Amino acid sequence: MKYHIRVKVAVSNAPPSGGIFLPATTLQQFVAELFHKAGSNKPDAALIAELLTATDLRGVHSHGTQQTPGYTRLMLEGRVNPRPNIKVVSETTTARVYDGDGGMGHFPCHQGMRWAIETAREYGTSAVTTRNHFHFGSAGKYSRMAAAAGCLGIAVSSHRYDLPPDALIKYVNATSPISVAFPNGEQPPLVLDMGAAMLPWDEKLFEQVPFAFFKELGIGAINRALGGVMAGIFLPQFIPPESPWESNQGSFLAVFDIRAFMPLEEFEQQMDQFVAAARQMQPFPGTDQAALPGGLEWQRELDYARDGIPVSPRHQQALQDLADELEVESPFAQHAHTRFSAE
């Protein structure tokens, strides 16, 4: 079943207008080698490459393998720990706190979500916070892990940043992300995956729809409290100069087993009815399909798994420059025949 959305208005993470296509496995292996050469051990390099490539497969290019040069640069400069030793520093039966040891946030968050899913399957619910790490990537890859296990997944993050008194309160948000994912049946999954900063500041727009700015503010404040304050990122031991690392991010992850509330099959059937009905409604202006959050990523994942992940010239050049620096052979020449451009 085809599920395309043609967007006429400007959107973030739109597919590149030109470039080449790379098979997901090829891109993943290439990126894993880059991380390994930058100092990561092979298992960690393979995992972060898998997570970044999976993000590209959903079309969220801003948080996919485009991040590789920036991440590895911080490792090479000694600002992010390339070989962190992830530890559980506090736990109860259904909650844990993970310390990321100054490394990338992907590692404690992936490990924490795996534990949270196992625990929720036994007790109905569980939660994790992570601290002392750098960027954790897209929030959606963690919530989707729970959804794939028949659970509701929530992932929230925030990073450490100043709140200058002379700045407009709108900027308390700083794009702190949140994702909520539900199990699905045959229809596209319902997955909210968004940053808290949604509207550019415009005084006239504020006069017209003030409630939109206040709702944005509320979401951002909650994300900072859950993924930042409760995660412990403002504790002095994680802040330079006491910490040698750029460990400025934390996360809050929660899992609810659908089976604790109703039979999973019944839930998925009702979700399918809801999503199917929504897709029959009239689309927003500028789009040709009605879609709930997660639907577009679902279709892109199908398309990119079949055709390859589109890699823009800028994306390709950044990875090529890094490959040259680290003396890693790139796969781009072998796939030059897949080059495309906007019609």
Summarised one tens digit per residue, pLDDT across range 252-277 is: 999 999 999 999 999 999 999 999 99
Residues of the chain with pLDDT > 90, as a percent, come to 89
Is the pLDDT reported for residue 3 higher than 50?
Answer: no
pLDDT at 283 over 60: yes
| Exposed / middle / buried, residue 43 (Cβ in 10 Å: 0-12, 13-18, 19+) | exposed
What are the residue ranges spanned by the domains of the chain? 15-83+309-343, 84-280
- Does position 327 have pLDDT exceeding 70, yes or no? yes
More confident residue, 12 or 315: 315
Task: Say if domain 84-280 classifies as CATH 3.30.1370.60.
Answer: yes
Task: Read off φ and ψ for residue 155, nearest 5 degrees.
Answer: -135, 125
pLDDT confidence of residue 174: 79
Q: What is the pTM of this model?
A: 0.92
pLDDT at 198: 86
- The CATH code of domain 15-83+309-343 reads 1.10.1530.10
